[in-house]
Structure 1
Amino acid sequence: MAWQNIDVSDAINGLFDPSLSETPPSIDLVALRQLLQAQANTIVAVGTGGERIQNVDARWQRDTRTLNANFRRLGLQPPFPWGGLWDWYGYYSQNLATYQERRSHVRDLTETALAQLEMAEARGGVHDPAADDDTPTWQNLNGRISGLVEEYSSARDRDGWQDVGRRSREILIDFGKLIADPAIVPEGQEAPKGADAKAWFDLFLARYASGRDKSELRSTMRAVWDLAQKVTHGDIADVDAFAAAQATVMVVRTAQKLQRDAE
């Protein structure tokens, strides 16, 4: 039997891979397509005598966790149903007798996955230019922004889009609490209440984005509060939710940069 020539301990050892406890990294659509192609090529190679499973399975499993996590982040179905290449071996041994059948099956799965990515790209995705920022005082807010990106990626109807608006508004409120610093209150002026995030935001802009040359920046950033409010309660579409989510990320990261540059 074919199984007699297989070192099953390789499959068992894969269960103890230390990388199983690591959070897969987020990657953009270009890198995701490249990873998809690389994983498909490895599957084909293993199924057509080009690679030995024990030589490539550990790497393939790690890359598959990254691939699947990023597909799910976009609200998409992961492309390949096997957690490891031994699972693929078991499948093609029972169902795909020839090399041509195996190549065709993997090609079909890959083409379906590429079509999903094209739809996600056409729909648009929220981009956070500081997703990996680990400044301690911004840590919790960074986590909320990551949740916002995922919320938008999975939203498919008005209820989902309004949830994006609610999350955007909550992030802005949390951001207002984060920047509530008595040092930015002008002398002789009473400090806003702690919960008045918008008032603190206005003081922040007056401190860090003052002057006529920053008037358009101040207006743009203030308008985001109104947009998040509209998306939370209004009769909105996907584009409104996208704008609210992306604008929220823009406001937080721009304010963060203003503060850093000033310091």
Structure 2
Amino acid sequence: MQDPVTHNAVRFLETLRRSDLSALLFHAEITVGTTGTSLVVVVRSPRPFSDALEVLPPHDRQRIAQAAVSNRPSARAPADIIVRHVGDVIDGHGALLPDLIIHRDMMISVATGGRTIQDVDDYYVARQVWISDACAAAGIAYENPHNGLWEWYNFWKAHFATYAERREYVRKLFAAPIAAASARIASPSPVSEREPTGWERVDRALGNAKTQLARASTEEEWQAVGLVCREVLISLAQAVFDPEVHQPTDGIAPSATDANRMTEAYLQHVFPGESYKEVRGHARAALALALNLQHRRTATRQLAALCLEGTSSAVAVISIIAGRTV
């Protein structure tokens, strides 16, 4: 539960359609105090959210300050906020939004006379890999082609003569993924986040399924979650099935979309016998649930969430068996 000041600030920012700023305050506590005759806005938040708040451009920091005192009509908002780092670090997929903002700021900074590439390139390269993987797993399009800051340097030298052009390019590059990551914080998925498997198509499809569930509000849209989950399981089966090694139990060669036969043949090969029937049954159950939801005209959000959780769990189990995650 957010404190009243933070809640009011979040609502104010949402009326301005600044979901990126309101989402940055998800873990924050805002207090408004005074120094002499001036108001002071202090935002306390865990890293990396606090780090992202610190690197916001001045006009965005001022907008948060204005939001914090928006319920005081006669108050003059301060020009800036004070950020304090508190609490445990937020990591994993929950850190995607602030990391995108930090990454954006780093690209702008080195291109506009701020930090030097030598000082921050290692951090940029590592964060670029993490953001690319996290966006793929979340089904968020991330189209930053600059895998290192020296690449970015060569690009801006060839295309952009002014600081303004460089800032504009970077902000456009990050606008869509930041908006998508903000939406995920505003409407979190009921399904637990898991680490990417490294199977690109599986991770991407699973991210699409999560996005579909987050946006769904009708029976047809909840049914569509089942369809996307089926696609996840087909991609998963294709990732592990080798027709030269894994023989179908019924002797029928599976088609390219026969997730059940491909997965069954793979699991029968790595975990044969009666003692492993529950492991094999787990994947069958996930596929059956997806097919059921896909054709259920009375689909609900609860059933769609159950289907997505079953699919996510099946992906995790096969990933463990295949040695992709431990």
Q: Which TM-score band (shorter chain)?
A: 0.5 to 0.7
Match of 1:226 among 254, 264, 288: 288
Contact 2:230-2:287 at 8 Å conserved across structures = yes
Contact 2:238-2:259 at 8 Å conserved across structures = yes
| Alpha-carbon distance in 2 for matches of 1:174, 1:141 | 6
Q: Name the TM-score, length of structure 1 as normaliser.
A: 0.56
Contact 1:208-1:259 at 8 Å conserved across structures = no
**How many angstroms does 1:41 deviate by?**
1.5
Match of 2:267 in 1: 205
Task: Please tell me the root mean square deviation across aligned C-alpha atoms, in Å.
Answer: 4.2
Matches within 5 A, 1:49-64: 49=40, 59-60=52-53
**Residue deviations 1:217-251, cap 9 Å, x none?**
22232122111111111122222111111111111
**How many angstroms does 1:49 deviate by?**
2.1
| Larger relative contact order (Cα-Cα within 8 Å, sequence gap ≥ 6) | 1
SS of 1:49's partner is strand
**Alignment of 1:159 onto 2:220:** yes
**Alignment of 1:238 onto 2:301:** yes
Match of 2:62 in 1: 86
Contact 1:60-1:85 at 8 Å conserved across structures = yes
Contact 1:209-1:258 at 8 Å conserved across structures = no
**Residue deviations 1:72-119, cap 9 Å, x none?**
xxxxxxxxxx9712224566599732389xxxxxxxxxxxxxxxx9x9
- Identify the structure with the greater helix proportion: 1
Match of 1:129 in 2: 194
**Alignment of 1:216 onto 2:278:** yes
Give the letter aligned to residue 265 of structure 2. Answer: L
Runs in 1 of length 4+ with deviation above 3 angstroms? 32-35, 44-47, 88-95, 186-191
Structure 1 residues 60 and 172, CA, compared in 2 at 3 Å: closer, same or farther? same
**Alignment of 1:41 onto 2:102:** no
| Alpha-carbon distance in 2 for matches of 1:195, 1:143 | 17
- Identify the structure with the greater strand proportion: 2
Contact 2:220-2:299 at 8 Å conserved across structures = no
Contact 1:61-1:84 at 8 Å conserved across structures = no
**How many angstroms does 1:165 deviate by?**
0.8
**Residue deviations 1:8-32, cap 9 Å, x none?**
xxxxxxxxxxxxxxxx9xxxxxxx9
Structure 1 residues 187 and 89, CA, compared in 2 at 3 Å: closer, same or farther? closer
**How many angstroms does 1:58 deviate by?**
7.5
Contact 1:141-1:171 at 8 Å conserved across structures = yes
**How many angstroms does 1:186 deviate by?**
3.7
State the identity as a percent. Answer: 18
| Alpha-carbon distance in 2 for matches of 1:186, 1:210 | 12
Give the letter aligned to residue 26 of structure 2. Answer: L
**Alignment of 1:256 onto 2:319:** yes
Contact 2:226-2:307 at 8 Å conserved across structures = yes
SS of 1:41's partner is strand
Structure 1 residues 232 and 88, CA, compared in 2 at 3 Å: closer, same or farther? same
Contact 1:221-1:251 at 8 Å conserved across structures = yes
Match of 2:74 in 1: 97
**How many angstroms does 1:160 deviate by?**
1.7
Matches within 5 A, 1:163-202: 163-186=224-247, 191-202=253-264
